[in-house]
Structure 1
């Protein structure tokens, strides 16, 4: 694990659970939204399983019997809880800024592929002052939901990078399955949603336990 895997031109990050420690806030916001919508409170484990999906897909997965109107109402309630009500901290993970800075210094192309909507991603870019690191991004309201490869293929096309020179970094099966389906390499991180056993099912080039471990894999 001490040596660079490959000299990738483009490094694509998931956001929640990979760069930002926002899982507890997502879980509690979804649980509160369900209660306020008079639905059965989903378990922590069930909510974690939908992190990374687009919000409509996530809500439909959690509550498959909901009508379209109920789904959209719950989506709206979740957004209200996450943005305006919930004060659970959602900081960047340790060494996120240091890693992004080092990659930028080495003139790597950086991108984000996230289950967040565009408004949500721009909000956290502003809050964390990280938007300047990224050359492109794709959000759940701009492409098909993970694990469909649409986000990645669109980023490759925009940045004119072949599949062989790109890698996806994420914490969920949705991220790594998306990469596998798109035909690009991936690295799994264990400090988000899924553990090493789950991530290993999608043939990542490596699995790491911290962002600090990523740097020697991505840089010589």
Structure 2
């Protein structure tokens, strides 16, 4: 696995430990908007999807007006209303450093919106590592392969030269749909059993294991 020219990372639950903040922000937003407060596990299942797609899965029969209200309220809760810490996972920064030192191209394909991704790249001081990034607010939501196809085209990389790293079935199914290899990580949302359904090259339990595989 040391020969990939391009490593594409999901963000939430893969590089950043932000799952708990996403869950609490979504539950607070639902309460404010007047929707039934979803269970923690139900919110986790939509992480990685674009927000509008995720809301339709999370809240049956949600109206377009309620979606608009949730988009505004969730953004407020995540950015200002909620103070749950969102650090990078242990060893994530050092992994990015090591990959860049061996001249590996790096990218992000995330369910975040552009404003949200730019914000966390800045606060985590990781924006300089990535050659390009794609957000679900700009393209089709995972597991549609559009984000990955776009990254490959921009960087002039063949599918067999790239690998996708992610913590959800949405990430690995997207990679499968794009015809590229993947690695699942179990420290985000989905467990080994779920991730293995999408035939990843490996499933790991820590960033340090990723380091061994990729560097």
Normalised to the residue count of structure 2, the TM-score between the two structures is 0.99
Q: Give the counterpart of 1:188 among 184, 188, 195.
A: 184
Cα deviation, 1:67-121, whole Å, max 9, x if unaligned, reads 1111111111100100011000010000001000000000000000000001000
1:6 Cα offset (Å): 4.5
Cα deviation, 1:181-215, whole Å, max 9, x if unaligned, reads 11000000000000000000000000000010011
For the pair 1:88 / 2:113, whether they are aligned, the reply is no
1:63 Cα offset (Å): 1.1
Matching residue of 1:59? 55
> How many Å separate the matches in 2 of 1:53 and 1:76?
17
Structure 1: which 5+ residue stretches go unaligned?
none
State the secondary structure of the residue aligned to 1:192: coil
Q: Give the counterpart of 2:64 among 60, 65, 68.
A: 68
1:217 Cα offset (Å): 1.0
State the secondary structure of the residue aligned to 2:189: coil
Matching residue of 2:105? 109
State the secondary structure of the residue aligned to 2:53: helix
State the secondary structure of the residue aligned to 1:50: coil
Matching residue of 1:218? 214
Matching residue of 1:150? 146
Q: Give the counterpart of 1:11 among 7, 10, 13.
A: 7
Normalised to the residue count of structure 1, the TM-score between the two structures is 0.97
Cα deviation, 1:101-145, whole Å, max 9, x if unaligned, reads 000000000000000001000000110110000000000111100
Matching residue of 2:164? 168
> How many Å separate the matches in 2 of 1:91 and 1:215?
19
Q: Give the counterpart of 1:27 among 23, 29, 48.
A: 23
Structure 1 runs (4+) greater than 4 angstroms displaced:
none
Structure 2: which 5+ residue stretches go unaligned?
none
Aligned-pair Cα RMSD in Å? 0.6
> How many Å separate the matches in 2 of 1:88 and 1:6?
35
> How many Å separate the matches in 1 of 2:19 and 2:212?
26
> How many Å separate the matches in 2 of 1:147 and 1:64?
20
> How many Å separate the matches in 1 of 2:14 and 2:184?
9
> How many Å separate the matches in 2 of 1:81 and 1:17?
18
